Structure 1
């Protein structure tokens, strides 16, 4: 089955309808002032969950990849060479989504590029730098267009966090004090969701709100009945990387090619943690089924299929249950199964949508009347057109070039060859 066919298995829209007058109303508090007042008094700096780890802008992208793994962090702040005496010493961030975007770009540079990359100055700069054999990390910062640098003042509240996250951002850097060049660390979207989940244990209002099922939450960004980005078990790892880069997503569903049933999921973090330290490039031509078994074997995965699938909910799942599953699985998104039970048991051909951490935080933003909620804003901005065929030729060629060196170093060499 080719990549186009694999995508068509699940990139479909499933519609749903309710008989007139049978759809229950969502429960919302009659007065949200208590929540607004409470969250307005909670300081963002008290929710910091990620340390600030910095690297110099001129280090190589390979060194930056190694720094991500060595520091066991999800994001690096890139320090400007002109940082002394500046109020904002960082030029941007670098995370696993950027790693995936860079690896995909280098591996497929010799084939037709997606439309948005053809005249992209960032790609041109990376290609030019590759002629020297060294691509500085500053050129790869936010290559994924999922990882912008967002900064909040030291006295910012939880409401400010909700406002930023409801625009699709995944992490925010907090100042040590107003106007200072020092910073305390990051608040991630998952960190805020975890805080809100804990807060709900003492809030009767949120406990009632958590009982609402997903299908009754009105925000359109909850894609319960929308297209799903997925690949089959016989896709290669490079296919999955390319799909995530082209579609601007951080994970893809892994499905049965014949039925479309959800088997597992893989993310940019899963891939980077395996590809970066790998001694050769053969992992890129490994099938997704093999890769899932390799990565998730400690969690009970055999032959590419989870023994206990944990990546799905369904439209009738309560919001509270969905939040708990997002946190328990350490996932940024769950896949929606239109025929699954509330506990997530899967049937065949039932994959119908997604719900993400940002979607859920947008619900909280809506609950306290934050304006301009648009969790799909960044996704629309980074939407890519589908690349033309040729990824298999590129992957095979890459495998031959990568047999004796790490994929990151080999891909820099690949980009260098193309640039010349």
Structure 2
């Protein structure tokens, strides 16, 4: 395993990484050389346009689902029936960040590594995921925003990384904003899990009945997919799918976006400071032109790709799309948005197909409740970026910082999607399912506001702006 990617000089308290630092990083050995032998060697194919349409054309009512759940009340299904022990991956607190990152990327969903004190332990004391990796990367390249009390600790981590000293996970657990570890027993009912998920919890650790061992990880996405695939067995939920989002009144009109011409580092900081797992990228008219998530940080774990930190958000979006295979025509449009007139079935189909945590709600140019927009009506994101040299040779320019001429101001964002007006998340959908089934989850907006208030003091001044509208637009 090669040494971690670390700068020779880390400006731990600076707001921007110096060109000298980034140039030095680009010449260091790869952070995950043994993992990513080539930019596309580990690619997971993106869901095709036809695939999304297939999900929408065949709603749960036309599916048989898993026979073992037929005729059962989903609220009484045990959580242990939905998880598999093979998805549980462990690392010790003394494991270094580089090794944990390699394991995280190789393992795939549910995109989390459980932490324990020693190899023989079977209970978790923490987690390591892409939000942790993002926060660590910001510290290493000098772009974190620590409180005064954290300065010495952050400087110590940056200095050790600079010297090539392995950084154990126990030293980085506090870098990212964490939600509490929620635990359920395998014999607990799904209703209990959905009350947690509908209140804003994103994952739950499932333990054996005696509480002695973790036997699985239950995520919001796994539950939404389960209810979608077996919808014909659960009438209370199935009857919601034909409804349009506007009538259901779910989601929130308040969201944070970043302008496509902003530096990628601002998006990484924004997600870390605000405790977000993704942000929409918009053009100058607030039209959604892309999406950046903490999981995309894995594209920055190779030293060859670290010059991307000097690029814009819109360029990084084009890199993300290229990595997913969009450049070869298999999938040439963004599917991270819906309109207020999209059905719940349409929205859930997109979430399941793209394995996303949220969909951005955009203004529809011609809303029609009887005929909600479908993915087939969405113009190609790839076509909007044909001027970019990235698409003539997707691999090399992307990883070596060759920036496209296209800017957020030049993109035809209105034709790509529409103007950002809000967001609907897995939390919102599971909160709806819980309430519809007689459960009593907390209001997820309470937790969102709490997260924003707790992070407001650490938001970098250069990207903070007054929230004068429903969309908090971080732009130049």
TM-score past 0.5 threshold: yes
Is 2:219 the partner of 1:188?
yes
Q: Once the two structures are superposed, what CA deviation does each residue of 1:319-343 show, in whole Å capped at 9, x if it has no partner?
A: 1221111111211111101225522
Partner of 1:21: none
Q: 2:299 aligns with which of 253, 274, 279?
A: 274
Partner of 1:173: 205
Are the counterparts in 2 of residues 142 and 148 from structure 1 also a CA contact under 8 Å?
A: no
Q: 1:248 aligns with which of 252, 257, 275?
A: 275
Provide the secondary structure at the position in 2 that maps to 1:290: helix
Partner of 1:68: 104
Provide the secondary structure at the position in 1 that maps to 2:443: coil
Partner of 1:103: 137
Cα distance in 2 for residues equivalent to 1:206 and 1:99: 36
Are the counterparts in 1 of residues 282 and 288 from structure 2 also a CA contact under 8 Å?
A: yes
TM-aligned CA distance change 1:203 to 1:390, over 3 Å: closer
Is 2:81 the partner of 1:46?
yes
Q: Once the two structures are superposed, what CA deviation does each residue of 1:144-183 show, in whole Å capped at 9, x if it has no partner?
A: 3245322111211111110111221111111122232x21
Partner of 1:347: 414
TM-aligned CA distance change 1:370 to 1:140, over 3 Å: farther
TM-score normalised per structure 1: 0.72
Considering only aligned residues, what root-mean-square deviation do their CA atoms show, in Å? 3.0
Q: CA deviation at 1:127?
A: 4.2
Q: 2:312 aligns with which of 287, 308, 317?
A: 287
Is 2:116 the partner of 1:79?
yes
Partner of 1:325: 350
Partner of 1:91: 125
Provide the secondary structure at the position in 1 that maps to 2:355: coil
Structure 1, unmatched stretches of 5+, are: 4-34, 392-420
TM-aligned CA distance change 1:382 to 1:203, over 3 Å: closer
Cα distance in 1 for residues equivalent to 2:258 and 2:142: 18
Partner of 1:261: 287
What is the number of equivalent residue pairs in this alignment?
339
Q: Once the two structures are superposed, what CA deviation does each residue of 1:70-109 show, in whole Å capped at 9, x if it has no partner?
A: 323400001124x86x7x7321111001111222244345
Cα distance in 2 for residues equivalent to 1:343 and 1:80: 50
Provide the secondary structure at the position in 2 that maps to 1:48: coil
TM-aligned CA distance change 1:79 to 1:285, over 3 Å: same
TM-aligned CA distance change 1:105 to 1:359, over 3 Å: farther
Q: CA deviation at 1:37?
A: 7.7
Q: Once the two structures are superposed, what CA deviation does each residue of 1:113-151 show, in whole Å capped at 9, x if it has no partner?
A: 3xxx41566x76454455544432123336432453221
Structure 2, unmatched stretches of 5+, are: 1-15, 17-69, 379-412, 465-476
Q: 2:147 aligns with which of 118, 130, 138?
A: 118
Are the counterparts in 2 of residues 146 and 378 from structure 1 also a CA contact under 8 Å?
A: no
Q: Once the two structures are superposed, what CA deviation does each residue of 1:188-241 show, in whole Å capped at 9, x if it has no partner?
A: 11000011112212344433221221112245xx11x33x32223322221210
Q: 2:438 aligns with which of 354, 361, 369?
A: 369
Provide the secondary structure at the position in 1 that maps to 2:359: strand
Is 2:383 the partner of 1:357?
no
Are the counterparts in 2 of residues 126 and 135 from structure 1 also a CA contact under 8 Å?
A: no
Cα distance in 2 for residues equivalent to 1:147 and 1:36: 35
Q: Once the two structures are superposed, what CA deviation does each residue of 1:272-295 show, in whole Å capped at 9, x if it has no partner?
A: 220123446312112222222222
Provide the secondary structure at the position in 1 that maps to 2:289: strand
Cα distance in 1 for residues equivalent to 2:324 and 2:211: 46
